[in-house]
Amino acid sequence: MSFTRTWSVRFSDTDPFGIAHYPRMIDAVHETSDMFMEEIGWPYWELNEEHGLGLPLVSMDFDFTGQVNGGDEVEIELDATVGGSSVQFEYHATHDGETVFEGTEFRVCVPLDGDSGVEVPEDLRAALESA
């Protein structure tokens, strides 16, 4: 499913050029996934203690096509796709209708006591796909 949030670019996000520093954009990307997981009832802070699993990042691939400044409102959309033991988050960020950045994160479902992937549990799969 698709989830959208508005990221307000703050003074702290901007660098000496007066534009958002790209590591702060990555913070906004992660925060978007954090808000999404909370929205679907599987917040990151419960994955460990309540579900005994993690969703570590395996790879990321982003294109930056626009710059934003303090005070800009950026719409970040997240689409989740679930594979066997993997989860893919696609991001598309726009400001005033123009794409600012877009990219994909690949995550794998791992039990806390292991490091190889396991099947995404059915209830997590259903939650991710319902969004």
Q: Which residues are near its own copies by CB under 8 A?
A: 10-12, 14-18, 21-23, 26-27, 30-31, 34-35, 38, 43-45, 48, 54, 56-65, 67, 69-71, 115
Q: Kindly state the smallest distance separating residue 26's Cβ from its own copies, in Å.
A: 5
**Which residue from 83, 86, 100, 93 is spatially nearest to 30, judged by alpha carbons?**
93
Within a 13 Å sphere around the CA of 111, how many CA atoms are in the beta-carbon half?
A: 5
Q: Kindly state the smallest distance separating residue 109's Cβ from its own copies, in Å.
A: 14
Q: Kindly state the smallest distance separating residue 47's Cβ from its own copies, in Å.
A: 9
Query: What is the four-CA torsion angle of 86, 126, 39, 70, rounded to 10 degrees?
Result: 40
Biggest CA-to-CA distance, the chain = 47
Q: What is the DSSP letter of 120?
A: P
Contact predicate 77/99, CB 8 Å: no
Contact predicate 43/34, CB 8 Å: yes
Q: Kindly state the smallest distance separating residue 57's Cβ from its own copies, in Å.
A: 5
Contact predicate 93/32, CB 8 Å: no
Cβ proximity to its own copies, 31 vs 123, nearer residue: 31
Cβ proximity to its own copies, 114 vs 122, nearer residue: 114
Q: Kindly state the smallest distance separating residue 8's Cβ from its own copies, in Å.
A: 8
Cβ proximity to its own copies, 22 vs 129, nearer residue: 22
